[in-house]
A = this chain, B = another copy of it.
């Protein structure tokens, strides 16, 4: 991910409705949710939501697939991982103070791993 893609992804998430959309779709997992359902749950007009979904998709944070009459949107977890990787790595060069406190998320991920001082 380069600086251009990063500003796109950051900009896509830097708006309350879009951040809410992404968070909702993260909870729904790979199956995703039809656009109309997202609009209904968040109380957003279909046309307005469509605008925001397009931005998130253009930034690569959502994947869209049609299923019959509906279009299902799902969060792209790898893309979010790439964005976080950009922030930690390219942007902050793995600075210790930035990385401190990241263990909680990793542990919650349920990865069977433990840290051992060497």
Contact = CB atoms under 8 A, between A and B. Distances in A.
Interface of A: 3-4, 6-7, 10-11, 13-16, 19-20, 22-23, 26-27, 77-78, 80-81, 83-85, 87-102, 104-118
Contacts of A23: 90-91
Contact of A114 (B90, B99, B116): B116
Please state the number of chain copies in the assembly: 2
Nearest to A17: B7
Contacts of A111: 96, 99
Contacts of A104: 85, 89, 94
B26 A95 contact: yes
B113 A115 contact: yes
Given A89-B105, A94-B110, A99-B105, 7 more contacts: A7-B14, A23-B91, A80-B95, A81-B98, A81-B101, A102-B106, A113-B118
